[in-house]
Chains A and B, each alone.
Chain A
């Protein structure tokens, strides 16, 4: 029995809570305004900065002038007073005398009075210097040519507005009035009963997992790749630890008067800084722990007899653990996890839920000797009736083999090896054993 589809009653994130048409119109207006502001900014910048600079370098005519006076011009800005050099010059064009106050063509004010004073020192009153005048308007002249880096850097501001606004505007326009299904289908079907082709993959929305079969094993068919290498984890934690504690150290220097120097400790900022210091200490601890795991625990290899996996099938697994370790326990488990990503305000959050866990192997109280890694071979049954690997933009079902080590007087470690589980082939119509529910 069909039911009326409730399109507009969604709870959060990208889901709509009101009229779809109104929402799309609002987004169109929003991105349109962004685009408009960007275009207006670009026009202003091009006409006031870039074109005048280009004309100075290509069209202005060289002549000489006499310096009559010089001063620092100033105006109030949001972050304090802004300055520019102002030099009064006199020059003659076609027998006519011109007098103007100038320096460069943009005439922009900026912070830093000392820089402008340096510029003024380059010009002596009463002396003659080269200058360039505008043949269309001889009363306009400059003492310097060239291009300012600032003008090109400032282009990034309207450029960003144009990219975000234009991209959003075009995207919204292309999807205007189209249903979610039509957008998902590629959205250009207009002919009667035009059909979207089948997905190229035999198993749509199941990750391909090509990198899981590109490394042959020594005993079994494939060696599984580790999800995050211990070295990269160490580098990541190390860099973050360095950045965080560097920031805390610099801040501490300033609030403690250069580490208990002549000034006194500024107590309020110092108290605010204490939680940051504690996080820094925890990060140092995490770094040391990862360092011990990386250097103290040898490499762990997992090999498998076949890949991808199918529910209800049995596979051989080989785990190899190197190092010189006194192990309290080594456990290998097969895990299935769901993960869901959602927008909450401006944050993107991901929640995971473990929906299956099966212990495949356990060994307790044993020793691993250097150069003689532990190698254990055992079987793994992928349970029938379980969900296959799945990945879409915001939702995922992933399977992995996890090796958990408990080392005597050493930090515990856990290493994950993702695997891909396909839907059960026995359930497919047209294959042996197929059936309808």
Chain B
């Protein structure tokens, strides 16, 4: 039996979205034993990368506890659709970057959390470079 993992995808395999647009897609738990999962968290969030300490903010957050899980339903892909905010836009800066992603975190009853994320781009900003002089 293969290791358990989470598969996430956006409809139409889109990876770039505009502010205010709704992203839709699905995630599916693969190779998990029924009853082995304590909770699942789905979030759409942005985080920073670069020289500064990491900042993170969640735009959409959902948590499903084990007691509320319908395993027969979970054998199918779980659909999501989230309307994106107007900011912050994805940004490729000189010393800081802003990344957006959809993330699924699975908390097994035993062992380490399993995390999968699907990055996407919000907006269409041009990359920034340090100004000469």
Query: Which A residues lie at the B interface, using CB under 8 A?
Result: 1-5, 7, 10, 12-15, 179-182, 184-185, 189-196, 198-199, 202-206, 336, 338-343, 351-357, 385-388, 390, 392-395, 397, 422-423, 427-431, 434-437
B115 and A204 within 8 A (CB): no
B125 and A204 within 8 A (CB): no
- Interface majority SS on B: helix, strand, loop or mixed? strand
**Which residue of chain B has its CB nearest to the CB of A195?**
B62
Residue B126 CB within 8 A of the other chain = yes
Measured CA separation A14–B16 after assembly (Å) = 30
Residue B89 CB within 8 A of the other chain = yes
Measured CA separation A193–B80 after assembly (Å) = 11
CB within 8 Å for A196 and B21 given contacts A2-B8, A205-B88, A427-B124? no
A338 and B105 within 8 A (CB): no
CB within 8 Å for A341 and B53 given contacts A182-B63, A206-B87, A385-B125? yes
By a CB distance below 8 angstroms, the chain B residues around A190 are 63, 65
B91 and A390 within 8 A (CB): yes
Measured CA separation A278–B130 after assembly (Å) = 34
A181 and B53 within 8 A (CB): no
CB within 8 Å for A423 and B123 given contacts A13-B53, A190-B65? yes
B43 and A181 within 8 A (CB): yes
CB within 8 Å for A355 and B93 given contacts A202-B86, A394-B48? yes
Measured CA separation A5–B51 after assembly (Å) = 20
Measured CA separation A436–B19 after assembly (Å) = 9
* Minimum distance in angstroms from B105 CB to a CB of chain A: 5
A193, A353, A437: the one contacting B95 at CB < 8 Å is: A353
Query: Which B residues lie at the A interface, using CB under 8 A?
Result: 5-9, 16-21, 41, 43, 45-46, 48, 50-65, 68, 85-89, 91, 93-96, 98, 103-105, 113, 115-118, 121, 123-126, 128-131
Measured CA separation A339–B95 after assembly (Å) = 8
Max count, chain A CB within 10 A of own CB: residue among B45, B68, B93: B93
A199 and B85 within 8 A (CB): yes
**Which residue of chain B has its CB nearest to the CB of A422?**
B87
B115 and A5 within 8 A (CB): yes
* Minimum distance in angstroms from B12 CB to a CB of chain A: 10
* Minimum distance in angstroms from A269 CB to a CB of chain B: 40
B46, B52, B61: the one contacting A185 at CB < 8 Å is: B61
A342 and B52 within 8 A (CB): yes
A14 and B53 within 8 A (CB): yes
B51 and A340 within 8 A (CB): yes
Measured CA separation A189–B65 after assembly (Å) = 9
Measured CA separation A202–B103 after assembly (Å) = 23
A387 and B125 within 8 A (CB): yes
* Minimum distance in angstroms from A197 CB to a CB of chain B: 10
By a CB distance below 8 angstroms, the chain B residues around A437 are 16-18, 121, 124
B41, B48, B88, B126: the one contacting A204 at CB < 8 Å is: B88
Measured CA separation A167–B12 after assembly (Å) = 48
A192 and B7 within 8 A (CB): no
5 A-B contact pairs sorted by A residue (CB < 8 Å): A353-B130, A387-B93, A434-B18, A437-B18, A437-B121
A423 and B115 within 8 A (CB): no
By a CB distance below 8 angstroms, the chain B residues around A357 are 131
CB within 8 Å for A181 and B48 given contacts A338-B128, A397-B91? no
By a CB distance below 8 angstroms, the chain B residues around A195 are 60-62
A395 and B96 within 8 A (CB): yes
A182 and B61 within 8 A (CB): yes
A7 and B56 within 8 A (CB): no
* Minimum distance in angstroms from A192 CB to a CB of chain B: 4
14 further A-B contacts with Cβ under 8 Å, apart from A181-B45, A390-B98, A428-B19, are: A10-B54, A15-B53, A181-B58, A185-B58, A195-B62, A202-B86, A339-B52, A341-B52, A354-B130, A387-B93, A387-B128, A394-B53, A429-B21, A435-B18
A355 and B128 within 8 A (CB): yes
B63 and A184 within 8 A (CB): no
B45 and A184 within 8 A (CB): yes
By a CB distance below 8 angstroms, the chain A residues around B17 are 436-437
Measured CA separation A324–B40 after assembly (Å) = 69
* Minimum distance in angstroms from A339 CB to a CB of chain B: 8
**Which residue of chain B has its CB nearest to the CB of A198?**
B85
A423 and B41 within 8 A (CB): no
* Minimum distance in angstroms from A436 CB to a CB of chain B: 6
A428 and B55 within 8 A (CB): no
By a CB distance below 8 angstroms, the chain A residues around B56 are 180-181, 184
Measured CA separation A198–B83 after assembly (Å) = 10
A395 and B118 within 8 A (CB): no
Measured CA separation A194–B85 after assembly (Å) = 19
By a CB distance below 8 angstroms, the chain B residues around A205 are 46, 57, 87-88
A5, A189, A204, A427: the one contacting B62 at CB < 8 Å is: A189
By a CB distance below 8 angstroms, the chain A residues around B57 are 184, 204-205, 392
* Minimum distance in angstroms from B92 CB to a CB of chain A: 9
